[in-house]
């Protein structure tokens, strides 16, 4: 079975990339696709030093540092990836990667880290924090987000199977896309930690702020 793996963008080695590493390990012969790839040569081991097939965004000005400014182009970029020669497509998605173009006879499994937070639950917070909650720019961005939400829901219908990274995300997938999903937790380096039985009265969360 010829397999393609689609990841949002490749710029660093963080949470979603650790999931990608495991997927690549399961399918070492698969071809890898992404909207853009700026991983340095010395940090490509987790994708087995694979050549990455990228979209047109790769060649746009400041794509490495200002890629988020190209959000409006991301749906077109991910749908421009030619996956016609593959039987199985696995997407690692927290933005637009699940929106790939596929035929009915192709199997698409999407590992969903989360539906796009900035157009769903956190839209108001995102607009406020970026100073775009008022004025003409705000109106334009809200109109774009409305279109993006429709696209997001529409492309969710073409996914054959959703995998959620937690039961919280499973609930969000159901609420946003009205789709069921199977929970498979992300990998954790348990050997890096030692169990401490002494407890104190606080909770600690360590994560990347995105």
Instruction: Measure the CA–CA gap between 124 and 151, rounded to whole angstroms.
Output: 19
3-state secondary structure of 138: helix
> What whole-number distance in Å separates Cα of residue 38 and Cα of residue 31?
17
Residue 190: per-residue pLDDT: 82
Report the pLDDT value the prediction gives residue 145, as an integer from 0 to 100: 92
Q: In terms of DSSP bridges, do strands 161-164 and 107-112 run parallel, antiparallel, or are they unpaired?
A: parallel
At residue 121, the pLDDT reads: 87
pLDDT value of position 73: 96
pLDDT tens series, the chain, 210 aa: 999 999 999 999 988 999 999 999 999 999 999 999 999 998 999 999 999 999 999 999 999 999 988 999 999 999 999 999 999 999 999 999 999 999 999 999 999 999 998 889 888 888 888 887 888 988 988 999 999 999 999 999 999 999 999 999 999 999 999 999 999 999 988 888 888 888 889 988 877 665
Taking the C-alpha atoms of residue 73 and residue 71, their distance in angstroms, rounded to an integer, is: 5
Q: Is 92 exposed, middle or buried (0-12, 13-18, 19+ CB in 10 A)?
A: buried
pLDDT of residue 210: 58
Q: Where are the domains of the chain?
A: 3-192
What span, in angstroms and rounded, lies between the C-alpha atoms of 102 and 107? 8
Instruction: Give me the pLDDT at residue 168, please.
Output: 96
Please provide the CATH number assigned to the domain covering 3-192. 3.40.50
Report the distance separating Cα 197 and Cα 160, nearest Å: 43
Q: pLDDT at position 88, please?
A: 98
- The pLDDT assigned to 129 comes to 82
This prediction has a pTM of: 0.90
In whole angstroms, what is the distance from residue 71 CA to residue 118 CA?
11
């Amino acid at each position: 079975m010829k397999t393609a793996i689609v990841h949002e963008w490749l710029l660093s080695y963080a949470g979603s990339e650790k999931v990608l590493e495991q997927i690549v390990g399961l399918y070492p012969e698969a071809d890898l696709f992404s909207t853009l790839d700026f991983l340095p040569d010395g940090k490509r081991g987790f994708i087995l030093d694979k050549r990455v097939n990228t979209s047109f965004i790769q060649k746009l000005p400041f794509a490495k540092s200002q890629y988020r400014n190209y959000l409006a182009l991301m749906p077109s970029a991910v749908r421009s990836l030619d996956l016609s020669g593959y039987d199985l497509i696995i997407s690692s998605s927290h933005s637009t990667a699940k929106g790939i173009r596929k035929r009915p006879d192709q199997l698409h499994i999407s590992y969903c880290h989360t539906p796009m937070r900035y157009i769903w639950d956190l839209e108001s917070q995102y607009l406020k924090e970026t100073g775009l909650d008022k004025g003409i720019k705000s109106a334009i961005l809200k109109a774009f987000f409305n279109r993006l939400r429709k696209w997001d829901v529409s492309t969710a219908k073409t996914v054959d199977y959703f995998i959620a990274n937690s039961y919280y995300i499973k609930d969000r997938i159901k609420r946003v896309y009205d789709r069921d999903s199977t929970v498979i937790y992300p990998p954790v380096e348990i050997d890096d930690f030692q169990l401490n039985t002494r407890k104190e009265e606080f909770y600690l969360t360590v994560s990347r702020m995105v």
